[in-house]
Amino acid sequence: MSEPTHSYILAFDTANEVITIGLGVADEADRSISAVSSVEVEARRASNTQLLPRIDALLAEQGVSKGDIVCVVCGRGPGSFTGVRIAMATAKGIASALEVPLYGVSTLDSIAWNLHDAGLRGPAVVVADAMRKEVYPVRYELVDEGIERLEADSVVKAETAAEMLAVGRGAASASADGGGVAGSSDSVVGANAPASIIAGDALKKYAELFEPCGAFADKALWTPTGKGLLRAAQEAWRANLLDPFDAAFGNPAFALPVYTRLSDAEENERIRLSKNEPKNLRTGVQNAGVRRDQQPSAHDTAIENARADESGITYRPLDAAHAHAVAELESELMGTDAWSEALVLDELPRKDRVWWAAYGTDDMLVGYAGGWIVDGQVQVLKVAVAPAQRRRGIARSLLARIASDARDLGAKACSLEVRASNEGARALYASLGFESIGTRPKYYSDREDAVIMEGPLPLDHHDVAGMELQVHGGKALRVEDGCLPVRCDAERRLDVFAAASDGRGERIEAAAPLVLAIETSCDETAAAIVDGSGQLVSDVVASQIDFHARFGGVVPEIASRKHIEAICGVADECLDVAAARIGVPRLRWRDLSAVSVTYAPGLVGALVVGVAFAKGAAWAADLPFIGVNHLEGHIYANKIATPDIEPPLVVSLVSGGHTMLVHVKAWGDYETLGSTLDDAVGEAFDKVAKAMGLGYPGGPIISKLAVEGDPGAIDFPRAMLHSGDLRFSLSGLKTAVITYLRNEEAAGREVNKADVAASFQQAVIDVQIAKAEMALKLTGAKEFCLGGGVAANPALRAAYGVMCERLGVRLTLPPMSACTDNAGMIALVALDRYREQKFFGLDADAQAHVNLDEPY
């Protein structure tokens, strides 16, 4: 007689130095979760290599199949940013592939449940390490019925938190400089209150600081446990926040980590914009080629980087330079309730405030909005749009940006007051999900009532995570985009997928392998599927460029955050597009042949997200897991345009991070002939564009401007042109351009930026062509290819065309859509590795740097 099956809940957390795993049985009758096993293991920054193997071992030990898992529970922090993202990305992959709900619980709440279940009662404080001499402190009341959280998540200096707790006040409310914890100013505890029970991994660092604050719990209770995670999930179930048996309560795409603060780049930007210092606050150096009495202020710098939307409106954080314009619009629209310029300026530096503005032509302020984050909610302080600019969606866009920042600061909901007579505004808020919950009588200066409204964060999701999806190889496929059409005749339809069952049966074997690839090495979240013939069935990209442009370059922390937000949506779209192309109602993870991912090189925080997600999905769907070298992907991108291309060949890899010539002796057998000693080509383009005040990304801007200039106008150096080897150096050229600009400035001459752009670009091209010709002659190869983002440069592509025609060499260029980072090229590599059975284990991890020449 077979053993009865159970409905299991899998829970795990990696927010600190401990890997925590819990396995519980869900009882739908009384909404309880009984812990079967709880595992806690020291990880010491190795969570991504240990988490899945330990989960796999635990299920095997308990005799539990993956098909018995009905829900995944994940600790969402706060904690180590990388640690939290490892758990969250893994959970998203597992839940997506198993098609079960994913529910995120507070890491700190799980610790509080540890204290409760250990029999402790009374006031308690959990203080988790936030690095930078800061902690995440949350106070609780432990009663027989459970735990009562007294405040929202926040970050505070360890010394400040200890001082507040020591005097019996709990954690203080956030001040203008962000020194306290939001939302507890009205929760002062009397001097005779009982001593708090204190737990949390911050005690390992700051035990002496917190000794006067109460009694330390046993060390075994300082970190999350599997039982604690399951207890937190059980209470969420009983509060109707979770239903393990209903996917509507746990879409993996909507689960996000707890951050409590903006990225360093965003925080520093707010500080700079609030000061409006007369210098280039984006690069940290003065702009060359601009008179010193005309140096751009912070808002000038933001103008250079900001990108207008389709209607010509530009959105960026409000800066001090426009405080006067805000006050003027306030006076026009708000009457006696208008804020003064001084009040606006006072708001900008506050860490618990977020302010955004909208600008039309000539940097004219046309709207603004501000919010105050308190008690896990954002209170909208102001929303205003110039009358002539209304009905263009500006207010919605401003609110969406306020909501996005507020969410990253811990807000989960939104509230505001609006005049009772303002029917248009009330209708707008109602359309965003807000409801009236009461009134404030005679709230405004003219004695009119204010209607209080509350609702969800009015986020602007677009296609996914605030980004538009670019689909190649799907319904929007066009040959002119450089994407190959997929044959969908009867022989190629893979009709076997139509037999997919709705149950949890065995994985369906396709007539031809389908391999899905994930790419997150930098600032594109991408997914693609390749079939057995090497044709891309779908290729989807969500670009983050709009989130990085205002900083003049990619911000690693923002990139990693956006990958976590976008990865489920991108993967889902990839599967849907593939299903439509193949001609089946639905394509599921279990219908694939393998899952692959870029594991190196790149931004390690970004790579970690893709690797953890792909590993989780591969494990859950019982599929082989394949790691791919990103640089090898750029080589394979040439197969998209020329499927019959075969080694030997020479490839020039030119991007923001790489400049190298590679001899491809065979697929998978590479020899780097030469690489840059300093800056990469794309990096040089970006830095020169910054120096010229052209904005980001620099490559396309300089390329477009160079068309109008004379490439021979300025004799910039061709570094290492005659070095006799295949190495490159771009740093000297970049410096020469900046020096030229500054000399022209000193002489009082107006700079012809088109000539500078054309001359700089030509200097780059001359060296690239000379080295490529040398490589072809050295190897004897009769095929030459390009790869990387700079491969989209029209002048460079044309120059290579001339060179190859002169040498009698065939030139293959990747389509424009495949020059920048994409998953299609990763999928093509993965297909070959799948056939060769070159798989990675569940202990694989992301790597920032690898040697392309070394087999893997």
Q: Given phi > 0 = left and psi -120 to 50 = alpha, else beta, which region is 106?
A: beta
- Non-local CB neighbours of 646 within 8 Å, separated by 6+ positions: 783
Structure-token pair, residue 182: 């939001």
Beta-bridged to residue 683, according to DSSP, are none
CA angle in degrees (0–180, nearest 5) for 258-259-263: 155
Amino acid identity, position 630: H
Distance CA 599, CA 629 (A): 6
- Non-local CB neighbours of 118 within 8 Å, separated by 6+ positions: 217, 218, 221
Report which of 831, 88, 846, 89 is spatially closest to residue 521, judged by C-alpha positions: 846
Distance CA 534, CA 517 (A): 13
Report which of 348, 341, 339, 335 is spatially closest to residue 323, judged by C-alpha positions: 341
Binding residues for substrate: 653-657, 686, 699, 793
272 to 155, 299, 383, 598: CA distances (angstroms): 21, 9, 23, 36
| Phi, psi dihedrals of residue 31, rounded to the nearest 5° | 50, 50
What DSSP designation does 8 have?
Answer: E
CA dihedral in degrees (22, 28, 32, 33; nearest 10)? -10
Count Cα neighbours of 723 within 13 Å in the Cβ-side half-sphere: 17
Cis peptide before 697 (omega within 30 of 0): yes
Percentages (nearest 5) of helix, strand, coil residues in the chain = 40, 20, 40
Instruction: Give strand ranges (E) for 7-159.
Output: 8-13, 18-27, 32-42, 69-75, 102-105, 122-129, 134-143, 146-149, 156-157
Binding residues for Fe cation: 630, 634, 821
What DSSP designation does 193 have?
Answer: S
Report which of 531, 541, 536 is spatially closest to residue 485, judged by C-alpha positions: 536
Distance CA 761, CA 229 (A): 56
Structure-token pair, residue 631: 């640089």
Contacts of residues 740-746 at CB distance under 8 Å and 24 or more positions apart, as own/partner, are 740/714, 740/716, 741/288, 741/289, 741/691, 741/692, 742/288, 742/289, 744/289, 745/288, 745/289, 745/290, 745/291, 745/292
Binding residues: 630, 634, 653-657, 686, 699, 793, 821
Q: Given phi > 0 = left and psi -120 to 50 = alpha, else beta, which region is 160?
A: alpha
